[in-house]
Structure 1
């Protein structure tokens, strides 16, 4: 097969060009223009929340959320050991310490049974990650947070469209953070969004991301602020993507279903918690065979199939180094896991080809 089967490429077309050209034609390509407010409104309507605040990235969303909640030097924040590094880095930006917890072997999300043993008098927040779009056990996490007086900041950067007990991920904690990187369900090229329970908090975040610029007098700043604003041209792209979101989400779910039906036996899949509904941003599998994952990737690449390793456990990195023995599940999933093509640019025939090829190689 000569064509490329995409891992996570975005779906872009005439609709995106239309709105981008409108932004260019108006001359408003930076933070001024109608598209930012429109995008925030459409995003809020989709999630069923009162307010959303756009920012420059998912990392910025997590950083400004922790900053707004008063996380500071000497504090500790609970983070799963298996996630993208951008979950933990913002904790360090504020002088706080990420405290890692191993993951559940079935869902690959933070092991809720192990959270309490990592809580100290310095713990101020928990950041659950809905890994690859699969919702974490938010009910139990919120119960633990309430018991110890902790904030919950949802890393929903991979899980737009996923639901837990009928509520969209990102809307269940104190604050929720989303990403619109080029590989996400919808993209603005870069960009992110913050939602939350308190409109007052979100109003203050909106103020902070605009360099804490006051209206009295011009260029008056009453606090330390951040240049985290989304641009009008990014938001124009986001509006077009929001018009596609249901179709994009449906295709990812169909692809995941095909993988599950066709790959019974040689692989294992992430499991969902009861009353959870994953967005399956990426379908990730555990290869239940004695096989070298990088070599498997090379063989798949020869056949035009893009793949990606599971995230490296954060405790493997120099700045977060800890003993592997404390995180056996994270290392097991990393060592045997693989992300399969999940881009809606692919067709169902493409996904069937991936399953056929993977089974042939595994034999």
Structure 2
């Protein structure tokens, strides 16, 4: 049996939607993008949604639109994909890390205020693996100190904290649609905001600095080519329509894993805050420290089972160690998670027989330790 780490869920509806765009010959800057943006804003419950070509591009534009630049700092998590820190470096700002909660693996909100200084301009929480941060705490800290909030929701579309969707309690929030995400556009992202000023800047900067209504060769500010194409938007529109179905199926897969792994020695299943409604991006377990994770990954691969360590902490990436002098021990909770987390195969239509195959083989491998 071959069990991939992830697979996108694509139906005939998505194929038909993309084919219709190709037949129209209108491949960029057209009605599919506008419709996707409108539907996405309606789903999240915000005034504006701005489609871009990746979550990373969206984070970059959001940082720039918020006026965060050289010499500024933003407080964020070291346990994330690297783009949540890189987006600050693109603009000459510095990510300042606060360690994480050992259960949820999100930023530990109790550590944030000790990191704030005169250079702090923004809080940048990341909803890791689809589990939301408590945004009421983030907003409260930001309000006390006059800081903006940029929400990295790239892994958390449809997730809720106390029934409130991610993306609704910040100056701007960013979602991503890479093929392993809950919904996909192939490559793509979306920035959402209720602020008219930010929306105008986002739309201009994603399109080479052109303001809406400006002539084609009139560039009012420094911009980028971060546009989403029409085929991607057509795919995204259908995926968004199917999101409730997709999230329910992923919830079922996660529940089956938790049920079958709960009694397996050497493995801890994901901890979920009771206030949270998860949007399952990946299914990540923790291995006992005595277990050689790399050996487990290699053994699973030999049995045609995909798996991966999620994530290597950002501060221990070679570039960050060289540039900022970070070293092991700086953020011990994130480092312990980075050394023990294991992403198991997980996707929307994963059948129970594959789940059983993964769990059976993982148990066999762990029995050697």
| Bucket of the pairwise TM-score, normalised by the shorter protein | over 0.9
Instruction: Kindly report which structure 2 residues correspond to 1:273-292, keeping only aligned pairs within 5 A, or say none.
Output: 273-288=273-288, 290-292=290-292
Tell me the residue number matched to 1:8. Answer: 6
CA distance in 1, matches of 2:299, 2:289: 15
What per-residue deviation string (whole Å, max 9, x for no partner) do you get for residues 243-270 of structure 1?
3212221121111111211111432233
Moved more, 41-50 or 174-183: 41-50
CA distance in 1, matches of 2:253, 2:99: 28
- Name structure 1 gaps, 5 residues minimum: none
Classify the secondary structure of the residue corresponding to 1:78.
strand
Tell me the residue number matched to 1:328. Answer: 332
What per-residue deviation string (whole Å, max 9, x for no partner) do you get for residues 249-305 of structure 1?
112111111121111143223323342111121011101262111110111122222
Assess if the C-alpha contact under 8 Å between 1:8 and 1:342 holds in 2: yes
Assess if the C-alpha contact under 8 Å between 2:48 and 2:194 holds in 1: no
Instruction: Kindly report which structure 2 residues correspond to 1:34-49, keeping only aligned pairs within 5 A, or say none.
Output: 34-49=31-46
Q: Does 1:177 align with 2:174?
A: yes
Q: Does 1:96 align with 2:100?
A: no
Classify the secondary structure of the residue corresponding to 2:268.
strand
Aligned Cα root-mean-square deviation (Å): 1.5
Tell me the residue number matched to 1:165. Answer: 162
* Cα shift at 1:350: 1.5
CA distance in 2, matches of 1:57, 1:205: 13
* Cα shift at 1:126: 1.1
CA distance in 2, matches of 1:171, 1:342: 27
Large movers: runs of 4+ above 6 Å: none
CA distance in 1, matches of 2:214, 2:171: 30
CA distance in 2, matches of 1:246, 1:304: 30
Q: Does 1:21 align with 2:25?
A: no
Tell me the residue number matched to 2:63. Answer: 66
Q: Does 1:343 align with 2:347?
A: yes
Change (3 A) 1:124 1:295: same
* Cα shift at 1:207: 2.2
Q: Does 1:250 align with 2:248?
A: yes
* Cα shift at 1:348: 2.3
Tell me the residue number matched to 2:117. Answer: 120
Tell me the residue number matched to 1:238. Answer: 236
Assess if the C-alpha contact under 8 Å between 2:154 and 2:174 holds in 1: yes
Assess if the C-alpha contact under 8 Å between 2:253 and 2:350 holds in 1: no
CA distance in 1, matches of 2:50, 2:29: 15
* Cα shift at 1:318: 2.8
CA distance in 1, matches of 2:164, 2:281: 17
Q: When the two structures are aligned, how many residues end up with a matched partner?
A: 360
CA distance in 1, matches of 2:288, 2:294: 15
What per-residue deviation string (whole Å, max 9, x for no partner) do you get for residues 23-46 of structure 1?
1111112x2221101111121222
Assess if the C-alpha contact under 8 Å between 2:262 and 2:269 holds in 1: no
Classify the secondary structure of the residue corresponding to 1:17.
helix
Tell me the residue number matched to 1:297. Answer: 297
TM-score of the two chains, using structure 2 as the length reference = 0.94
What per-residue deviation string (whole Å, max 9, x for no partner) do you get for residues 285-331 of structure 1?
10126211111011112222211111111111233221221211111
Assess if the C-alpha contact under 8 Å between 2:249 and 2:349 holds in 1: no
